Chains A and B, each alone.
Chain A
Amino acid sequence: MFEAIAFYLFAALTISMFTITVMTQQALYALSAMAAGMIFISAFFFILGADFLGAVQIIVYTGAVMALYAFGMMFFDTTRTVVEKRTNPRFVIVLATLAALLTVLVVIVPIIAVDMPAQLPIDPSAGNSQAVGMVLFTKYLVPFELAAVMLLVAMVAGIVLAGKKMDKSLTLMAEEEIELMQTAQYTPVAHEEVH
Chain B
Amino acid sequence: MDTAFIIETMIKIVVLLTIFSALAGLGTYFERKVLAFMQRRLGPMHVGPFGLLQVAADGIKLFTKEDIIPQNVVKPIFKIAPVITAATAFIAAAAIPFWPEFTVFGYTVHPIVADINIGILFILGVMAVGLYGPLLGGMASANKFSLISAARSAAVFISYEVISGLSLLAPLMLVGSLSLIDINNYQSGGIGNWIIWTQPVAFILFWIAAFAETGRTPFHLIANDHEIIDGFGTEYSGMRWGLFFIGEYANMFFISFVIAIVFLGGFGDGTIAGAIQLLLKVSFFFFFFLWTRAAWPDVRPDQLMWLCWKVLMPIAVLNVVVTGVVILVQGGL
Contact = CB atoms under 8 A, between A and B. Distances in A.
Interface residues of B, number: 35
Contact of A28 (B74, B154, B155): B74
Contact of B158 (A32, A56, A63, A129): A63
B121 A59 contact: yes
Interface in A57-75: 58-59, 62-63, 66-67, 69-70, 72-73
A7 to B, nearest CB: 15
B158 A28 contact: no
Contact of B118 (A35, A39, A55, A73): A55
Interface in A93-123: none
A27 to B, nearest CB: 9
A32 B302 CA distance: 27
Interface in A69-97: 69-70, 72-73, 78-79
A69 B129 CA distance: 13
A133 B212 CA distance: 30
B129 A55 contact: no
Contacts, number: 85
A53 to B, nearest CB: 9
Given A51-B118, A62-B132, A129-B118, A79 B125 contact: no
A2 interface: yes
B139 A28 contact: yes
Contacts of B246: none
A44 interface: no
Given A67-B158, A73-B151, A78-B139, A2 B117 contact: no
B118 A58 contact: no
B117 A51 contact: yes
Contacts of B142: 79
B74 A29 contact: yes
Nearest to B80: A32
B125 A58 contact: yes
Given A59-B125, A70-B154, A51 B136 contact: no
B157 A32 contact: no
- Which of A51, A70, A128 is most buried by chain B, counting CB atoms within 10 A of its CB? A51
Interface of A: 2, 26, 28-29, 32, 35, 39, 51-52, 54-56, 58-59, 62-63, 66-67, 69-70, 72-73, 78-79, 127-129, 171
Given A55-B122, A70-B155, A79-B140, 12 more contacts: A28-B74, A32-B77, A39-B129, A59-B125, A62-B128, A62-B132, A63-B128, A63-B158, A66-B132, A66-B135, A73-B154, A129-B117
